[in-house]
Chains A and B, each alone.
Chain A
Amino acid sequence: MKLETKSLVLMAVAIVINVVVGQIAVWIKLPLYVDAVGTVLVGILAGPFAGALTGVLTNLIWGLISDPVAAAFFPVSLVIGALAGILARMGWFKSVGMTVAAGAVIGVISTIVAVPIIVYMFGGVTGAGTDFATAYLLAVGQELVQSVAIANLVQNLADKILTCLIAWLIVKRLPMRFTSGFAFYGYTKA
């Protein structure tokens, strides 16, 4: 599948958006990552294939610049980009309500993909804040997989809904001269 040059440039910029917006979230001490805004944006503008590729490459770039272990989570990012594209194709980014629903779907499914990686590769922990929730759930008698799933689901749902809302807001504000170059956007435009 050969992507247009414009889609390739969008993907490159989206990867930068992922990283820099994630950085801004750290600045304002948000307890969420918000590091997939660009990936969702590409899903909406250029479709599931470009979205998935943007996700995978973002993790690869993370690996090169700061944390090689982050690359291990590439399947999660792949699913986020692909789902954003598929849901956009179904018209789920047309309104704010639908966008929240899309964020919830992406949050649930990406958690389902992330949990086996966390459990198998990292023994159920990530070295981040969610480990406290995991430990708490274990202490009150949950099994490991359930604990990891619940702890990450709560955080991930909030994260992906916020991510989708930001991406939706950005797309809505784009000038027509810009979006007209992305035929796939026709599925989102009312």
Chain B
Amino acid sequence: MAVARPQGADHALLYVPGRSFLHRLNPLTKLTLVLWCAVAAFALPPEGTIPLALLSILIGSFAGAGRVFARRLALTLLPLSVALFVVHGMLVDHAGARASLLGLDLSREGLAYMVRILGRIAALLSGSLLFVCTTHPSRLLKALDAHRFSPGAAYVIASPLLLLEPFTQRAKAIREAQMARGLDLEGSFMTRVKAFPALLMPLVTLALADIDHRAQVLDGRGFRAMPHRTVLDAPADSRQQRAVRWAVLVSIPVLIAGGVLWHL
């Protein structure tokens, strides 16, 4: 139950290496800005969300992530646009005037609604892409550690990101091995369904086999012996950034209030 997923996407991060201003910003400052964008996406009308999205895209392009932005936005927004156009432009019984375009009977209200949803998703997506594209997860985790975040919580974020690549490789190796033994991924629906356990079981068994040992390794190295950890090369922070974070957080209730007033 998630929105449409890019077919055959590999699991490499969306992160784009670089040295831009955004890359150098403390991850927590960026995270606060993402939070602000998320609230703004819901609080602001399309007149606000669309410029916000455009601004994010512009900044993202300057930070060197233009291609990722274009690809991700297209993959998410194009199918959504088509679906919203059909569902709200044509099918849902919106009140108000109707318009005719290329022989289609369309609801003006429905089209306005479509623009609102698209503006919201665009703002939400491009705001979070700014963070994701310019922040390597290791920087985020170091920033969290440096701010005395719980080591256990940091672990469950870091570890999947690290294990994903080796396990995707293992899954591919199992797929090749099974195909060499005659597994048919292009066959009939039933053949493919029957292939599911053959691909999945060895992988899961392998993944679970490591757990006991790794837990012992962690405990053996003093994991969670102290309420927080020390990290090397924690991302730089500054008084200005702390001030910005506070200002952004304080402005969020204002933003929400503004959004409510605007809707009234």
Do A and B interact directly, with beta carbons closer than 8 Å?
yes
Residues of A participating in the B interface, judged by any CB pair closer than 8 Å: 2-6, 8-13, 15-17, 19-30, 33, 35, 37, 53-54, 57-73, 76, 110-111, 114, 121-128, 131, 134-135, 138-139, 144, 152, 156, 159, 166, 169-170, 173-174, 177-178, 181
Q: Which residues of B contact A59 (CB under 8 A)?
A: 2
B218 touches A16 (CB 8 A): no
Question: In the bound complex, how far is the Cα of B207 from the Cα of A146, in angstroms?
Answer: 40
**Looking at B1, B12, B76, B167, which has the most chain A CB atoms within 10 Å of its CB?**
B1
Question: In the bound complex, how far is the Cα of B80 from the Cα of A72, in angstroms?
Answer: 15
Select which of A10, A27, A114 is within 8 A of B211 by beta carbon: A10
| Contacts A/B (CB < 8 Å), 14 sampled | A5-B223, A12-B159, A21-B204, A22-B5, A24-B199, A28-B185, A64-B13, A66-B9, A68-B125, A122-B117, A123-B117, A125-B87, A127-B83, A170-B208
Question: In the bound complex, how far is the Cα of B152 from the Cα of A10, in angstroms?
Answer: 12
Q: Which residues of A contact B182 (CB under 8 A)?
A: none
**Looking at A114, A138, A173, A181, which has the most chain B CB atoms within 10 Å of its CB?**
A138
Distance of A18 from chain B, by nearest CB (Å): 9
A68 touches B159 (CB 8 A): no
Question: In the bound complex, how far is the Cα of B164 from the Cα of A152, in angstroms?
Answer: 29
B190-198, B240-248, B256-264: which lies at the A interface? B190-198
Distance of A24 from chain B, by nearest CB (Å): 5
**Looking at B4, B84, B137, B171, which has the most chain A CB atoms within 10 Å of its CB?**
B4
A125 touches B80 (CB 8 A): yes
Distance of B35 from chain A, by nearest CB (Å): 12
> Given contacts A24-B196, A122-B80, A123-B113, are A16 and B87 in contact (CB under 8 A)?
no
Residue count of chain B within 8 Å CB distance of chain A: 72
Residues of B1-43 whose CB lies within 8 A of A? 1-9, 11-14
> Given contacts A16-B164, A64-B161, A125-B87, are A29 and B1 in contact (CB under 8 A)?
no
Question: In the bound complex, how far is the Cα of B132 from the Cα of A127, in angstroms?
Answer: 22
Chain B residue, CB-CB nearest to A181: B212
Q: Which residues of A contact B208 (CB under 8 A)?
A: 10, 13, 170, 174, 178
Q: Is the interface of A mostly helix, strand, loop or mixed?
A: helix
B196 touches A25 (CB 8 A): yes
Question: In the bound complex, how far is the Cα of B80 from the Cα of A127, in angstroms?
Answer: 5
Distance of B108 from chain A, by nearest CB (Å): 15
Distance of A68 from chain B, by nearest CB (Å): 4
Distance of A63 from chain B, by nearest CB (Å): 7
Q: Which residues of B contact A122 (CB under 8 A)?
A: 3, 80, 117, 121
Question: In the bound complex, how far is the Cα of B156 from the Cα of A3, in angstroms?
Answer: 11
Question: In the bound complex, how far is the Cα of B204 from the Cα of A131, in angstroms?
Answer: 32
Q: Which residues of A contact B211 (CB under 8 A)?
A: 6, 9-10, 13, 178
Residues of B178-215 whose CB lies within 8 A of A? 185, 192-193, 195-197, 199-201, 203-205, 207-208, 210-212, 214-215
> Given contacts A68-B125, A70-B3, are A57 and B212 in contact (CB under 8 A)?
no
Distance of B116 from chain A, by nearest CB (Å): 8
Chain A residue, CB-CB nearest to B120: A121
Q: Which residues of B contact A135 (CB under 8 A)?
A: 83, 86-87, 91
> Given contacts A27-B185, A28-B196, A66-B9, are A152 and B1 in contact (CB under 8 A)?
yes
Select which of A76, A121, A170 is within 8 A of B204 by beta carbon: A170
Select which of A24, A29, A114, A144 is within 8 A of B92 by beta carbon: A144
Chain A residue, CB-CB nearest to B171: A20
What are the 10 A-B residue pairs with the smallest beta carbon separation, nearest first? A127-B79, A12-B159, A125-B83, A68-B128, A15-B160, A138-B91, A128-B4, A123-B117, A6-B215, A127-B4
Distance of A156 from chain B, by nearest CB (Å): 6
Q: Which residues of A contact B128 (CB under 8 A)?
A: 63, 68, 71
B161 touches A65 (CB 8 A): yes
Q: Which residues of A contact B125 (CB under 8 A)?
A: 68-69
Select which of A21, A127, A159 is within 8 A of B3 by beta carbon: A127
